[in-house]
């Protein structure tokens, strides 16, 4: 059986698993969505071909290619019309979906390079599979031997048995973008952020403030700038019913975002169980900002088990790989933290230390005045950025009146957690925290210690201690 490869292929070739398994659907979609929204970026995809895409993605890219040959850009209107003319109504509807669901602003260069590498790997595996089928069928043609050599070369180029393929190339490393923030200096993209604190110390309130800032594009706590408003927010809170959570949404003026289809929540009142690996959730997470309240509710087994925490970390990383822009989780502090006068990563997160290792960022909360919902906030882990100093936010009466926290002591004025803890054997001044903040402001204005003490009605030594 010495048939040439071309004639043998129709008889022996069947679509192997590698054709679908070695595909990066998310990257295909990201590139097409960016082109539909920004047609001027078409030249950046000159290295791509129709073979780099599959299914509807291939139909859309083929339509874009035809438009480019006619001197037109690959914008949604022209692409949609071109697909309808070709009788591909399903692809036309899908193009609209990815256009309106796109986040926008993607750097296409690394994604184009990655998609080309994926196609090379798929081609190599397909050729190897074809050679195997031909050999099993008894073909000994010269063409087959030639294909074997070409396949080996492709696999070599792609890194088939080359250990170097396990690692990033120089080009990938040099073209990697710097760390990005959805909320500047507070919420890092492509990373996991935890908000740690004792039960009832404002973790949910803090996260809802983050949600509002992300959806509005407004500054968080009137201090941290939102770099790009959220397209979609998913808020999963399996330990609270819908009624109390809906009240909190109204308090933070978030109901209109629910109506607009930009904020999606799931509470204890929803039917059935939801895991972080649910395909529907992974689809919803693409480009979204995800909140888990509390994160530990999505973990099975003992939270002190390193093995269980590894499984939990893998579930969070799966959300990341699905395309979630940010992931924020609330996490309880151990009860012993109530006695602490300082804050660290180890004492603000309950469970084994493994959970802190996977984080990009962790913010610790400690409520220092329950009546006014005053919360001391400190960064206890910051990967690849310099965090701000601790600060104090106050919830009442501002949240009820406006839906926003008030920043009463900005970074640099809040001191340490110990400053806000009553000292043993000495009565606590009823307005001590306000006086400390005022003392620091007066010091910034150049007032002397004597002037500050006289104004605040305390001793000079007390002012010195406050300002130390």
Instruction: Please report, for the domain that includes residue 448, its CATH number.
Output: 1.10.10
- Count Cβ atoms below 10 Å from residue 52 Cβ, excluding itself: 23
Q: Whole-angstrom Cα distance, residue 394 to residue 207?
A: 14
* pTM value > 0.85: no
CATH number of the structural domain spanning residue 189: 3.40.50.300
305 and 285, same domain (yes or no): yes
- Count Cβ atoms below 10 Å from residue 434 Cβ, excluding itself: 16
Assigned domain for 408 exists: no
Whether the ω angle into residue 294 lies within 30 degrees of 0, i.e. cis, is: yes
Q: Whole-angstrom Cα distance, residue 35 to residue 38?
A: 5
Q: Which value, to the nearest 10 degrees, does the dihedral of the CA atoms of residues 268, 272, 277, 283 take?
A: -90
168 and 225, same domain (yes or no): no
Assigned domain for 395 exists: no
User: Are the beta carbons of 124 and 158 closer than 8 angstroms?
Assistant: yes
User: Are the beta carbons of 95 and 86 closer than 8 angstroms?
Assistant: no
The tokens of 367 are what? 């409520």
CATH number of the structural domain spanning residue 138: 1.10.860.10
211 and 151, same domain (yes or no): no
Positive or negative torsion for Cα 328, 332, 334, 339: positive
357 and 379, same domain (yes or no): yes
Averaged pLDDT in 10-residue chunks for the chain of 468 residues: 38 39 78 91 91 91 93 91 92 88 73 84 69 58 48 50 70 78 94 93 96 96 95 94 94 96 94 84 91 85 65 80 91 92 91 77 94 94 92 94 94 91 58 81 84 78 77
The separation between CA 77 and the C-alpha centre of its own chain, rounded to angstroms, equals: 30
Assigned domain for 456 exists: yes
Q: Domain boundary residue among 343, 365, 389?
A: 389
DSSP state string for 49-92 = -GGG--HHHHHHHHHHHHHHHTT----HHHHHHHHHHTT-HHHH
213 and 112, same domain (yes or no): no
385 and 428, same domain (yes or no): no
pLDDT score at 314: 77
Positive or negative torsion for Cα 364, 369, 370, 372: negative
Q: Which residues does residue 376 pair with via DSSP β-bridges, in sequence order?
A: 366, 392
205 and 99, same domain (yes or no): no
Which of 413, 406, 418, 344 shows the shortest CA–CA distance to 378?
344
Q: Which residues does residue 362 pair with via DSSP β-bridges, in sequence order?
A: 194, 381
321 and 447, same domain (yes or no): no
74 and 106, same domain (yes or no): yes
Assigned domain for 56 exists: yes
253 and 351, same domain (yes or no): yes
At a CB cut-off of 8 Å and minimum separation 6, what does 50 contact? 58, 61, 62, 65
Write down the mean pLDDT value for the chain: 82
Assigned domain for 232 exists: yes
Tell me whether strands 289-292 and 263-267 are parallel, antiparallel or unpaired. unpaired
Q: Domain boundary residue among 143, 174, 205?
A: 174
Place of tokens 């192997």: 16
Half-sphere exposure of residue 349, counting CA atoms within 13 Å on the CB side?
Answer: 30
329 and 350, same domain (yes or no): yes
Query: What's the total number of domains in the chain?
Result: 3
Assigned domain for 137 exists: yes
Q: Quick one: how many helices (H) and strands (E) in the chain? A: 20, 11
347 and 240, same domain (yes or no): yes
At a CB cut-off of 8 Å and minimum separation 6, what does 51 contact? 119
- Count Cβ atoms below 10 Å from residue 175 Cβ, excluding itself: 13
In which domain, by residue range, is 101 found? 5-174
The tokens of 75 are what? 């914008």
């Amino acid at each position: 059986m010495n048939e040439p490869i071309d004639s043998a292929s129709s008889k022996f070739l069947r679509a192997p698993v590698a054709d679908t398994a070695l595909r990066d659907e998310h990257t295909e979609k990201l590139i097409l969505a960016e082109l539909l929204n920004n047609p001027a970026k078409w030249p950046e995809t000159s290295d791509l071909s129709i073979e780099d895409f599959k299914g509807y993605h291939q139909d859309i890219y083929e339509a874009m290619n035809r438009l480019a040959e006619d001197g037109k850009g690959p914008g949604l209107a022209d692409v949609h019309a071109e697909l309808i003319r070709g009788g591909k109504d399903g692809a036309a509807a899908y193009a609209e979906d990815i256009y309106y669901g796109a986040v926008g602003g993607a750097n296409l260069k690394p994604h184009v390079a990655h998609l080309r590498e994926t196609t090379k790997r798929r081609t190599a595996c397909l050729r190897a599979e074809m050679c195997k089928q031909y050999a099993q069928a008894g073909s000994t043609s010269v063409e087959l031997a030639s294909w074997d050599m070409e396949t080996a070369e492709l696999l070599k180029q792609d890194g088939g048995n080359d250990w170097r393929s396990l690692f990033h190339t120089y080009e990938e490393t040099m073209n990697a973008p710097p760390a990005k923030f959805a909320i500047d200096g507070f919420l890092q993209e492509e990373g996991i952020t935890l908000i740690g604190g004792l039960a009832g110390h404002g973790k949910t309130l803090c996260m809802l403030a983050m949600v509002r800032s992300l959806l509005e594009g407004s500054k968080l706590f009137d201090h941290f700038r939102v770099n790009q408003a959220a397209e979609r927010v998913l808020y999963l809170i399996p330990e609270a019913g819908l009624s109390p959570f809906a009240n909190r949404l109204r308090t933070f003026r978030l109901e209109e975002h629910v109506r607009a289809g930009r904020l999606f929540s799931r509470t204890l009142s929803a039917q059935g169980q939801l895991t972080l690996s649910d395909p529907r959730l992974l689809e919803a997470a693409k480009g979204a900002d995800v909140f888990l309240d509390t994160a530990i509710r999505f973990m099975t087994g003992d939270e002190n088990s390193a093995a269980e925490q590894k499984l939990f970390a893998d579930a969070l990383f799966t959300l990341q790989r699905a395309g979630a822009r940010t992931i924020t989780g609330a996490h309880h502090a151990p009860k012993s933290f109530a006695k602490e006068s300082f804050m660290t990563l180890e004492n603000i997160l309950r469970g084994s230390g493994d959970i802190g290792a996977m984080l990009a960022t962790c913010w610790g909360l400690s409520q220092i005045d329950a009546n006014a919902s005053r919360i001391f906030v400190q960064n206890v882990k910051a990967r690849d950025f310099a965090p701000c100093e601790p600060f104090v936010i106050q919830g009442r009466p501002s949240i009820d009146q406006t839906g926003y926290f008030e920043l009463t002591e900005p970074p640099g004025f809040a001191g340490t957690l110990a400053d806000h803890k009553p000292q043993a054997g000495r009565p606590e001044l009823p307005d001590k925290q306000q006086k400390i903040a005022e003392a620091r402001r007066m010091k910034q204005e150049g007032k002397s210690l004597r002037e500050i003490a006289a104004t605040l009605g305390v001793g000079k030594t007390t002012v010195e201690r406050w300002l130390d």
